[in-house]
Amino acid sequence: KVGTKGMFTKEIEDALASKQIDLAVHSLKDLPTELAAQFEIAAIPAREDPRDALCSGQYSTIEDLPLHAKVGTSSLRREAQLRALRPDLLIHPLRGNVDTRLRKLEAGDYDAIILALSGLRRLGRTELVRQIMPTEIMCPAAGQGALAIEIRAGDDDVRSALAFLDDKAARSETQCERALLKTLGGGCQVPVGASAKFGGS
């Protein structure tokens, strides 16, 4: 069911619980803020840029979009912030993987679409990125840009083997963001943005 907390992770966690696999790699923003007691996050590697990106074949910024431009996103968080910035925009659902979404943009189904910059960079698909959106105008999802390596709770051997991948800054930032989301009772389908910046040493 779309909208269920953990909808993107359940099958992978089932495989982890049944010992078909020993670790699972997720986009951290897709993991519920409260994991089941049988799991833990063993490592959060160095984080990619958490910001959102405006992709378009014609327009350079949100401000440049014409009146009533058609913008694609299926994120309630992005939609809420877009409506605050440009109430005139026509926001339409956009589903599928990154390649599918970019194909729909190139086919002219949308004037622009909003995607996570991190996913575009990881896939080498930044050719249509026109604007990297400042967090002040498009606050990213909690944990966006970060990966999480999930293991069975208490699996000391696997945790030790993964320890070198854990990045202090990424873990600190995402713990702060996820704490905010948890306090507000949010899951991955709630329109809440969070942005923390590690300032320690």
What's the start-to-end Cα distance of the chain, in Å?
42
DSSP track, 77-99: HHHHHHHHH-TT-EEE---S-HH
Q: What residues are annotated to the active site?
A: 30
Measured CA to CA, the distance from residue 140 to residue 52 in angstroms comes to 6
* Cβ atoms of residues 22 and 157 within 8 Å: no
Measured CA to CA, the distance from residue 53 to residue 68 in angstroms comes to 20
